[in-house]
Structure 1
Amino acid sequence: MHVKCVITDNDEVGIRPNETYLVLANEIGGSSNLSFSENDVRNYITRTLRCADDNADFKKMMNYFVRMKEINPNFFYAIDVDDANKFRSALWVDVRCRASYEYYGDVVSFDTTYRRNMHSLPFASFVGVNYHGKSTLLGCALLGSEEIPSFEWVFM
């Protein structure tokens, strides 16, 4: 069994990475016999299969960010791309989030538990707590993978 072919074929027909990982583990008698983790499968899919620079969704996201910046110069975004100009990560903060940070930025939570999107890219939110004890959004990021460099880029 050629692992990369199985991962690629399963991704093309819409089989989720966790299910692909389970299939691979079952084929060889358990996950302890695999030399990679479920996160490695997700990262492979993200890095190799879904981060092409001709990705229509990436272009739409960039167009949206440019439009928002034209509407309000205080809108902030940053995009990380590799040497081949392929998407790695994105960070954005709208005007309302910036204002909320000024008032409620004493304690900031960074949460990456939201991870279900069509590209299997981890979504991260920066959240604070307002004076009424309610969560308030302070910013968002779309990570290219769950590897350390993606997290380091967001916090630089």
Structure 2
Amino acid sequence: MLKQHRELSMSIRRTIENNEEAGIRLSKTYQSFVAAAGGHRELNFIEKDDQSIKLAFWADARSRAAFECFRDVISFDTTYNTNRYNLVCGSFVGVNHHGQSTLLGCSLMKNEEIESFKWLFQCWLRCMGGNAPKGFLTD
């Protein structure tokens, strides 16, 4: 059961996510895996291995530099469940002096609750030095 040998398959991850959405606690889900496998020793993961992403944000140095130059109007757009993990992908986009779209950051979110967006926008503003864009568009 060394950490490097433990893994969660995609089907197990989906079951955990579906059960979580249905309100079934992780400990109960894990116990169902134990029962189905015939014991703890038959599983190649342990209960604490579930590391579901709830919110993630990314912006690199190039994105922050571009924001300093092109922060007149920023667009935030989300696409719905476009990946196999059912995470909502969001992107912060500005327009450079050539009229081209410039990626200023992106996010992954498990849900679209108000608190998730509050966290995301606050995180993005902190990352951009606390400087708000001059205009902001959302879909």
Tell me the distance in 1 between the aligned counterparts of 2:86 and 2:119: 19
The answer for the alignment partner of 1:48 in structure 2 is: 21
- Which residue of 106, 110, 115 corresponds with 1:149? 115
Structure-2 residue corresponding to 1:93 = 59
Distance 1:153 1:118 in 2: 24
How much has 1:48 moved relative to structure 2? 3.3
Backbone CA RMSD of aligned residues: 3.1
Greater percentage in helix: 1
Distance in 1 (alpha carbons) for counterparts of 2:91 and 2:78? 7
Structure 2 unaligned residues grouped into runs of 5+: 1-9, 12-16, 27-47, 123-139
Structure 1 residues 146 and 152: alpha-carbon distance in aligned structure 2, compared to 1, 3 A threshold:
same
Residue 130 of structure 1 corresponds to which residue in structure 2? 96
Q: CA deviation at 1:46?
A: 9.4
- The runs of at least 4 aligned residues of structure 1 exceeding 3 Å deviation read 44-49
**Against the structure 1 CA distance between its residues 148 and 47, is the aligned structure 2 distance closer, same or farther, given a 3 Å change threshold?**
farther
- CA displacement 1:61-101 (0-9 Å, x = unmatched): xxxxxxxxxxxxxxxxxxxxxxxxx5320111111111111
Q: How many residues align?
A: 86
Note closer, same or farther for the CA distance 1:104–1:129 as it changes in structure 2 (3 Å cut): same
Q: Which runs of 5+ in 1 are unaligned?
A: 1-10, 13-43, 59-85
The reply on whether 1:103 has 2:66 as its aligned counterpart is no
User: In structure 1, how many angstroms separate the alpha carbons of the residues matched to 2:61 and 2:19?
Assistant: 30
Return the index of the structure with the highest Cα Rg: 2
Q: Percent identity?
A: 48
Higher relative contact order (CA 8 A, sep 6+): 2
